[in-house]
Amino acid sequence: MVSVKKTRPAKGISQQRIAVIGGGVCGLTTTLRLAENGFEVELFEAAPKPGGRTRSFLDKKTGEWCDNGPHLLNGAYIATEKLLADCHASNHVTWQSSLKLSLWDQQRQYFSLGPSTMLPFPLALLLAVKSMPGHGWNSALAMLRFNLAVKSKQCSDRCIASLLKDCKAPDAFIRDMIGPICLGAMNESTETADAKTFGRVLSESFASQRCARLGWFNAPLQQALIEPLVQQAKHSGAIIHTRHRVQSLQSFDDKVMVDGNRFDACVLALPAYASNRLLGQDGECETRAIINIHLWYPNHPGLPEPFIGGIGTQGQWFFDISSQMRQTSPLHRHLCAVISAVEAEVDHDKLLEQIHREFSCLCKTNCSPSHTRIVHEKRATVLVRPRDMKPDTKRIINASESPVPGELPATIEFAVRRGEKAALDIIKSRK
Ligand X SMILES: Cc1cc2nc3c(=O)[nH]c(=O)nc-3n(C[C@H](O)[C@H](O)[C@H](O)COP(=O)(O)OP(=O)(O)OC[C@H]3O[C@@H](n4cnc5c(N)ncnc54)[C@H](O)[C@@H]3O)c2cc1C
- Please report, as ranges, the residues that interact with ligand X according to CB under 6 A: 21-27, 44-47, 52-54, 68-69, 71-72, 245-246, 269-271, 274, 278, 290, 292, 377, 380-381, 401, 410-413, 415
| Closest by Cα among 394, 406, 404 to 272 | 404
What one-character DSSP code corresponds to residue 192? T
Nearer to ligand X among residue 46 and residue 374 (C-beta):
46
Residues 6 or more apart in contact with residue 386 via CB below 8 angstroms: 157, 404, 405
Question: Residue 385's CB: how many other CB atoms inside 10 A?
Answer: 16
Helix (H, G, I), strand (E, B) or coil at 118: coil
Contact 46, 244 (CB under 8 A): yes
Q: Residue 67: which of 294, 298, 327, 370 has the closest Cα?
A: 294
Report the chain's C-alpha Rg in angstroms: 22
In whole angstroms, the minimum distance from the beta carbon of 125 to ligand X comes to 21
Q: Supply φ then ψ for residue 91, to 5 degrees.
A: -75, 5
Nearer to ligand X, 168 or 245 (CB): 245
Nearest distance from C-beta of residue 45 to ligand X, angstroms = 5
143 near 129, Cβ under 8 Å? yes
- Closer to ligand X by Cβ: residue 199 or 409: 409
Q: How far is CA 50 from the centre of its chain?
A: 16
Q: Which residue lies nearer to ligand X by CB, 46 or 119? A: 46
Minimum distance, C-beta of residue 224 to ligand X, in the bound complex (Å): 13
DSSP state of 174: I
| 3-class DSSP state of 262 | strand
Provide the minimum distance between the beta carbon of 154 and ligand X in the complex, in angstroms, as a whole number. Answer: 28
Given the complex with ligand X, which of 172 and 207 has the nearer CB atom? Answer: 207
DSSP state of 334: E
At closest approach, how far in Å is the CB of 162 from ligand X? 26
- Residue 40 or 259: which CB sits closer to ligand X? 259
CA 42 to chain centre: 25
Contact 273/288 with Cβ under 8 angstroms?
A: no
Query: Considering beta carbons, is residue 41 or 72 the nearer one to ligand X?
Result: 72
CB of 25 to ligand X, least distance (A): 4
Q: How far apart are CA 316 and CA 149, in angstroms?
A: 26
Buried-state track 51-75, b at ≥16 Cβ within 10 A, e below 16: bbbbbbbeeeeeebebbbbbbbbbb
- What is the closest distance, in whole angstroms, from the C-beta atom of residue 316 to ligand X in the complex? 11
CB atoms within 10 A of CB 193: 23
Please identify, using beta-carbon distances, which residue of 305 and 401 lies nearer to ligand X: 401
Using the minimum distance from each CB to ligand X, give the nearer residue, 378 or 394.
Answer: 378
Comparison of 167 and 221: residue with beta carbon closer to ligand X:
221
Q: 139 vs 400, which CB is nearer to ligand X?
A: 400
| Distance in Å from the first CA to the final CA of the chain | 21
3-class state of residue 170 by DSSP: coil
Shortest distance, position 142 Cβ to ligand X, whole Å: 26
Distance CA 69, CA 79 (A): 21
From CA 7, how far away is CA 384, in angstroms rounded? 34
Q: How far is the CB of 65 from ligand X (least distance, A)?
A: 16
CB atoms within 10 A of CB 257: 16
